[in-house]
Every structure is written in C-alpha cells, then in structure tokens.
C-alpha cells in the first residue's frame, strides 16, 4: 500500500512540474480591445490552464485601474499535446463566454472565441509579456 501511495505522489509531482513548464504558462499581452489592452497570467488550473487579467493599460501603454483585474478570461484550456488547447473564453466587454481555442508557438499565442460549434470565430494574437 505504501508503494502505491508513493507512486501516486511521484506521478502527481511529475504532472505538476510538466504543467508548470507548459508553453502557455506565463504572462501574455493582449491586442487592444475597446481602448485598452491587458496582461493575462496563464497558469495551471487542475488538468487545464486558466488566464486571469493581471494588469490593464490604455492604448498609450499607461497602466490604468480596471474592475476587470483579477477576472478569469481563459477558462479550462485543456492541452491537446501539439501546442493547441480547447476550453472557454470570457469577454469582459460584453459579459459573454465563448467556446475557446488557443494555439501557442514560441512567444506567440492565438486565442479564439467561437460560436455556432466553432464555425464563427473571432481571434486575438497575443505576445509574451514577461
């Protein structure tokens, strides 16, 4: 029994370390939307990845106060193993949640919010901020 428990602890530790080193983990800068852009911190959340608004800036790059700071907008993005993820995306400006798709390649992240089963999508291209 003790060996089983130790094996499970080791397995969980390896899974957590792998998730922490996933390409999506980090801080990403969004494209401007409704006169502002943001820094989104993406980190593991369970077996997926989630992103929270960390800071908000006006289009000149000046940090501004926002009620959206701390809001989760990337929701349960499950990795497919090839740099792509599926989950949900929340858009604060209209209060709607969409089917989400995410692709990470190096310091670039494409985030899509889709309706109609993924037939109609709007996307943003983010860059790694830090």
Note down the domain range covering 48. 2-128
The pLDDT tens digits for 65-97 are: 999 999 999 999 999 999 999 999 999 989 999
The proportion of the chain whose per-residue pLDDT surpasses 70, expressed as a percent, equals: 84
pLDDT at 12: 40
DSSP code at position 83: S
Least reliable range by pLDDT among 11-15, 111-115, 121-125: 11-15
Residue 107: pLDDT band (50, 70, 90) is very high
In angstroms, rounded to a whole number, what is the distance separating the alpha carbons of residues 39 and 109?
13
Count of structural domains within the chain: 1
Tell me what pLDDT residue 119 has: 81
Tokens for 1?
């029994």
Q: Containing H/E element for 20?
A: helix 2-20
Task: State the pLDDT at residue 33.
Answer: 87
| Residue 74 belongs to domain with CATH number | 2.40.128.520
What integer pLDDT is reported at residue 7 of this predicted model? Answer: 40
Say if residues 75 and 40 touch (Cβ distance below 8 Å).
Answer: no
């Amino acid at each position: 029994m003790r060996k089983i428990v130790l094996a499970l602890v080791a397995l969980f530790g390896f899974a957590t370390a792998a998730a922490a080193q996933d390409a999506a983990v980090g801080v990403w800068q969004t494209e401007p939307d409704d006169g502002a852009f943001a820094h989104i911190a993406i980190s593991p959340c369970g077996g997926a990845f989630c992103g929270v608004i960390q800071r908000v800036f006006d289009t000149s790059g000046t940090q501004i106060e926002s009620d959206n700071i701390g809001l989760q907008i990337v929701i349960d993005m499950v990795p497919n193993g090839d740099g792509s993820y599926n989950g949900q995306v929340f858009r604060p400006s209209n209060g709607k949640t969409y089917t989400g798709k995410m692709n990470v390649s190096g310091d670039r992240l494409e985030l899509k919010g889709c309706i109609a089963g993924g037939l109609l999508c709007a996307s943003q291209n983010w860059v790694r901020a830090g």
